Amino acid sequence: MSWMVTGGAGYIGAHVVRAFAEQGIDTVVVDDLSSGRRSFLPPGTSFVQGTILDGPQLEATIGRYDVRGVVHLAGFKYAGVSVTQPLHAYQQNVTGTVTLLAAMEATGVDRIVFSSSAAVYGTPDVDLVTEGTAEHPESPYGESKLIGEWLIADQARATDLRHTSLRYFNVVGSGTTRVFDASPHNLFPLVFDALLEGRTPRINGDDYPTPDGTCVRDYIHVADLAAAHVVAARRLDAGDAIEPVYNLGSGDGVSVGEIMRAVAAVTEIDFTPEVGPRRAGDPARIVASGELAARDLDWRMRHSLAQMVESAWEARRAASEG
């Protein structure tokens, strides 16, 4: 029997697949490769190229690989772009989740770990976000992730589906030089690309009410994130009690300025970032408590900021050289 990982060829998905493999759990990856890369997967990984909008293919894959549970990471993940392409975001993230849940029900698969997002909170008015913090998504992406949680919870009430949703904060780093963050919108790849191209990285705003004037965010290492998925899957397999939602956060923030200084130290490229204006809607600070996940999912910060930056830089350089 195996777990199906939708979106498993992406940056986060490939780390999840590797974490399952390290624990001896078989997986099959379903990915349309719109942003994922098959080269990110370990050799020998079972792979089906396809979209989660294709219900018959999902059912066939579940049957062929004797799937008992799903880690659902596939979707459209660009919050800013979703504002100008809302129908695409909803099709991929809402219709896709409905199609997946229908395929699971048709084939008797009764457990799912859902990739949610801190975007469901929007701009929180608290210093430390908990699972009880009110959700106020501010983009179609954030709305679609919250709807995904609702869909799964509603399906669980109607059937015997066991589930949990993991709300990610700022995912960085790499657990292997074979996998790197290729997003055109995330901070680390934007900074690394600038340095590799001989440009000066740019940040947005240095006049926030924070210790150094730059935004404070909650950065977590992708390998730590992946490990939490394995524990969640095992708890679902065992029938253990599990919360419907977990924040995967550090409980402590890091400023963009601190990130820039860490990047300069790791890369040994001396630079002072250019400072642009604030981006509309950017809160000064978003930091989450990971206490529930620490209690139930063995969640903890196993990597320092320097290790996050160093592992991400090594993976990005390996990609540019190879």
Q: Catalytic residues, which ones? A: 141
Q: Which residues contact 240 (CB under 8 A, 6 or more apart)?
A: none
- Angle (CA) 213-214-218 rounded to 5° is 130
Angstrom distance (rounded) from CA 235 to CA 239: 6
Angstrom distance (rounded) from CA 109 to CA 69: 6
Q: Which residues contact 49 (CB under 8 A, 6 or more apart)?
A: 31, 32, 33
Burial class (CB in 10 A: 0-12, 13-18, 19+), 318: middle
Angstrom distance (rounded) from CA 166 to CA 35: 21
Tokens of 172: 């960085």
- Angle (CA) 124-118-312 rounded to 5° is 125
Q: What is the DSSP letter of 2?
A: E
Q: Which of 282, 253, 231, 248 is nearest to 171 (CA)?
A: 248
